A and B are shown apart, each in its own frame.
Chain A
């Protein structure tokens, strides 16, 4: 069965420090995509970063990087140099066969000044 697990309901990080949000997944699909979304308090869902299961390099988008460890089935999001505006809910998601998406339960990140 396809499943996304985010084990950190909430996290705190000091401004300007780096933080890692954990995500593990379970799938029997050979080809899949991994995504991270940010949901600020205003409610919209913002796409952050994508990693394909065949990609050998870890994805990076500005201050966001995805630490992809295929053998361990983990796709952790690393945010470098945290900013106050990074305070939000973060969702890990997986796209499998037939365009199906699976979301984790989310991690609420609070950045402290």
Chain B
């Protein structure tokens, strides 16, 4: 158990719909990351938050948005869903970086989204 909790684990929805994925980071971790992994693909970085503020943005579509709340949990909102959005969405958390950049990413189990 990594300590990162993601809900829901599985989600099936239709094209054009909107879904929200939720993530609770490990206790004490200030950084939250979202990744998308399509079938048999690598990890595509979507967005990173640090203590409630957006820190970095990757290849995140305009139809997608995210935020990190004061209690440090994060939500990823996916709207106007398309078939190609079907993927495994990971949330991960990490301690704040020190000078030597230790501190691995702890991944949740992922939310598997299927768009029909």
Contacts and interface: CB of A to CB of B under 8 A. Distances in A.
A12 B31 CA distance: 36
A31 B99 contact: yes
Interface in A10-42: 29, 31-33, 35, 37
B105 A43 contact: no
A53 B56 contact: no
Contacts of B63: none
B5 interface: no
Interface residues of A, number: 28
A73 to B, nearest CB: 15
B47 to A, nearest CB: 12
Contacts of A98: 50, 55-56, 97
B100 A103 contact: no
A99 B50 contact: yes
Interface stretch (B12-20, B69-77, B78-86, B106-114): B106-114
A29 B92 CA distance: 22
Interface residues of B, number: 28
A68 interface: no
B48 interface: yes
B102 interface: yes
A53 B100 contact: yes
A52 B102 contact: yes
A101 B100 contact: no
Interface string B37-72: 000001101001010000110000000000000000
Given A99-B97, A99-B101, 16 more contacts: A33-B102, A33-B103, A35-B104, A37-B105, A37-B107, A43-B110, A44-B109, A45-B105, A45-B107, A50-B104, A95-B101, A95-B103, A100-B55, A103-B42, A103-B45, A106-B42
